[in-house]
Structure formats: C-alpha cells, structure tokens
Chain A
Amino acid sequence: MKKTIKNPHWINNARTVLSVEFHYDDGRVMSAVVNGDDVNNVDLKQVLAEFTPEQLEDNTRKAIAKQNRDREALFALKLKAFEVEAVKNTPEKKLKSALRRAKSDIEVFAFASAIIIKDFESKQTPSDDVTEE
C-alpha cells in the first residue's frame, strides 16, 4: 500500500536517528523511527528522496520548539497543581515527588488527585461514614 512520509526530523544530536510519520492511503497514520545510517533501509531512501537536508533541519527546529512549548506548559501545570493547599501541604512525600517528576498532563492530574483524595480521607471523621437507614 502506498504511503506518504510527513514531518521527518532528527531526534538525536548526532543526527543519526529520524522520527517519521507514515500516512497510508486507507487513512492510517503510524509513527516510526528510522536509522539514518542504514543506507539500505527503504524508508530512509524514501525520506532522502523526498526531503532535502535543509527541510530535515527545519522540521527538527520546529519539533524542538514544540518540545519546548510542551515542556513549559507541563511546568506551568505542575506549578498550578502545587498552588492547591492540600497538595502543597501534604505529608505524602513520595506522591509529591511523583507529581514533580510527572511526564505528562495525565500524570500531573493523577498524582494531584491522589494527594487531594488522601487529604480528603484524612479529614473524614467516623461519623461521616455512617449512613442513615
């Protein structure tokens, strides 16, 4: 099946590994990593036939810029999570550390939620669990 290559860019400083997107005719899109040293690799041959070195560098610059934007957005989200009193003041050191080291928005929300739930539970009195018949 015919595939179109989009957004190839280098993902290491030595410029030996490419990240590419394969767009197939049936609508599927797959991400792949291509070894830039393997001159017999058909995918690499297609990339080099369709993209100039300048285009690869330009794509790489854009990918890095996006990575920077994503990293700053994640940092801002973590700071926002730490504004919540229950998060800032939690005695749960391991959860707090996990929140600081979160790698994605989902992890930030998950660890912040875990801390807030623990805080909520710690403030419950026994009578809160009694349900009326």
Chain B
Amino acid sequence: MTVRNGFLLAVSIDPGYVEGANFAAGSIKDCYPDAHITLFVEPKLRHYVDESCFDTIISEDVPSHIRTKLYALSRTPYTEMTCYVDADMECVHEDVTKIWDEVPQDCDILITKIRPYNGKEHKFKIGEMIHHGGFFVYRTNPQTINFMERWWTDYAKQRAEPWPYEEDVIPKSFAQWDQFTFWKLLNVDQLPVNVKFFNDDARWNFVNGYYLTENKDPIIFYHHTMPHRRAKELAETVRP
C-alpha cells in the first residue's frame, strides 16, 4: 500500500530519544488521528518503541549515528510529501491537519527560520544559517530526494574529513551542524531545490526559548529540550 503524505521521525544511540519519539508521534495522533507516521530506529533500540504510536517502523540497516534523520529522509515511504519531526517535539493543536495545504505548489522544502537570539553561532563571513533543521515538509520528487541523499553523505564527509575552509571564513566548529551542510548544498553546490518558509512559522516549530510574540495564531508544535540527564541514565541500561 502506498501512502501519499505522512510524518517521519528517526532516532538512534539513546533510548531517551525513542521515548521522545513515542511521545511526539502519540501527540500527533491525538490531534490528527488519521496521520500516517513512520519511525526509523536502529535495531538495538527497537524494543523501546511504542508500536501503538506508529504506522510503519523501519529498523533494518538503520545506522547508529548522531544524525540518523539524514539517513532516513531520502528513504521516506511517502509518495508525495513528508513532514520530518524531531523526537523532542510535541503536537498541541488540531491545525496540524492542515499541514499539507501549507506547501505551495512550487515549493520543494517548507521549513522554519532559526531565531538568532535563541540559538548558537549562526553567522559567518560569507553566509548565515537560517533554516531550522528540526521540522520541515519536503516533496518526494527527484531533485528533493537527491538533495536529501546529499545532505546525508555530505554531512558524513563534513564530520570525517579535514575541514576544507579557512577558519576565519567558516569556523571549524560548524562541522558538527547539519544546518551548515544544508546551507552548503543550497549556496555552494547550488542544488536546484526551492526552499520556502512556513507562514507564521513559529507556530509550526515553537522552540523552547522563543519570545511569546513570535507566533500570531496558536502554537501547533512545541520544540522542547530533551532532558539530558534522563537520556544519559536510560542510555546506561543498554551498554554491554
């Protein structure tokens, strides 16, 4: 059976993120009972998954990697549109059912903006990271799937290979950010994808720390901060 549109979550390394994904998916179903949700999870964490929250669970060949999400994006099972959701998000409003109508016809990736006051270093000599990688909708068309494949392979290279830029042009500390890879694919490699921002974008991805004034209409997704100590405690239980 093929499904046109659905939500995608991806987790690995830490059982705390699986439990976050269970919660995020459950909260989407609470507001949008017909939503189709897929989880990519590395095999050793499979038993932490709450199967009642997901329609499809994929474990085979899923790597244990800090950005399993990038591995998963190009492998979406949805034939038209996919909404990627970070595992520490919570859906709180029924307007989530309107998400597919938000995407303009000519748009390949619909995303939200980073708020500089609420994040880490985002500006550098020749550019600025403005796209928030924690929540976005993308189309299943050749140019976008190619973009997602490159996001995964180029991010892996970015972390593994010597930093190719001058420190004063692009700091080496950016190597850890998948947002930087996203910037590079758009601005250096100039891959042909049309990226736009959600209208009233903060309501779709209201990150902990945002000003109350950021959203006009009610918040749809809160982006929490995963309680790290708890995640670490849980991780202890799966070490050999």
Residues on the A chain within 8 Å of B20, using CB:
79
Query: How far apart sit A93 and B212, CA to CA, in the bound complex (Å)?
Result: 32
Query: How far apart sit A89 and B53, CA to CA, in the bound complex (Å)?
Result: 11
A4 on the B face (CB < 8 A): no
Query: How far apart sit A71 and B206, CA to CA, in the bound complex (Å)?
Result: 12
8 closest cross-chain pairs (CB), A and B = A76-B227, A75-B224, A13-B213, A97-B30, A64-B212, A100-B27, A100-B26, A88-B50
Residues on the A chain within 8 Å of B22, using CB:
82, 88
A68 on the B face (CB < 8 A): yes
What is the chain B residue whose CB lies nearest that of A76? Answer: B227
Residues on the A chain within 8 Å of B230, using CB:
76, 79-80
A 55-96 to B, binary, CB cutoff 8 A, 1 in contact else 0 = 000001000100110011001101110110000110001001
Residues on the B chain within 8 Å of A89, using CB:
50
Using a CB–CB cutoff of 8 Å, the interface residues on chain B facing chain A are 16, 19-20, 22-23, 26-27, 29-30, 50, 52, 90, 92, 208-209, 211-213, 215-216, 222, 224-225, 227, 230, 234
What is the chain B residue whose CB lies nearest that of A83? Answer: B19
Using a CB–CB cutoff of 8 Å, the interface residues on chain A facing chain B are 13, 60, 64, 67-68, 71-72, 75-76, 78-80, 82-83, 88-89, 93, 96-97, 100-101
What is the chain A residue whose CB lies nearest that of B211? Answer: A64
Chain A nearest CB, measured from B61 CB (Å): 26
Query: How far apart sit A72 and B90, CA to CA, in the bound complex (Å)?
Result: 11
What is the chain B residue whose CB lies nearest that of A64? Answer: B212
Residues on the A chain within 8 Å of B215, using CB:
13
Residues on the A chain within 8 Å of B209, using CB:
68
- Across the interface, A100 reaches (CB within 8 A) one of B30, B211, B212, namely B30
Residues on the B chain within 8 Å of A68, using CB:
208-209
Residues on the A chain within 8 Å of B29, using CB:
97
Chain B nearest CB, measured from A87 CB (Å): 10
Residues on the B chain within 8 Å of A83, using CB:
19, 234
Query: How far apart sit A75 and B16, CA to CA, in the bound complex (Å)?
Result: 13
What is the chain B residue whose CB lies nearest that of A13? Answer: B213
The verdict on A79 contacting B213 (CB below 8 Å), with A97-B30, A100-B27 known, is no
Query: How far apart sit A79 and B22, CA to CA, in the bound complex (Å)?
Result: 9
Residues on the A chain within 8 Å of B213, using CB:
13
Query: How far apart sit A93 and B52, CA to CA, in the bound complex (Å)?
Result: 9
Chain B nearest CB, measured from A39 CB (Å): 23
Residues on the B chain within 8 Å of A97, using CB:
26, 29-30
The verdict on A100 contacting B23 (CB below 8 Å), with A13-B213, A79-B230 known, is yes
Query: How far apart sit A40 and B86, CA to CA, in the bound complex (Å)?
Result: 48
Are A82's CB and B227's CB within 8 A? no
What is the chain A residue whose CB lies nearest that of B24? Answer: A100
Are B23's CB and A78's CB within 8 A? yes
Are A79's CB and B19's CB within 8 A? yes
Chain A nearest CB, measured from B12 CB (Å): 18
Residues on the B chain within 8 Å of A60, using CB:
212
Query: How far apart sit A113 and B234, CA to CA, in the bound complex (Å)?
Result: 22
Are A71's CB and B227's CB within 8 A? no
Residues on the A chain within 8 Å of B224, using CB:
71-72, 75
The verdict on A72 contacting B26 (CB below 8 Å), with A83-B19, A88-B50 known, is no
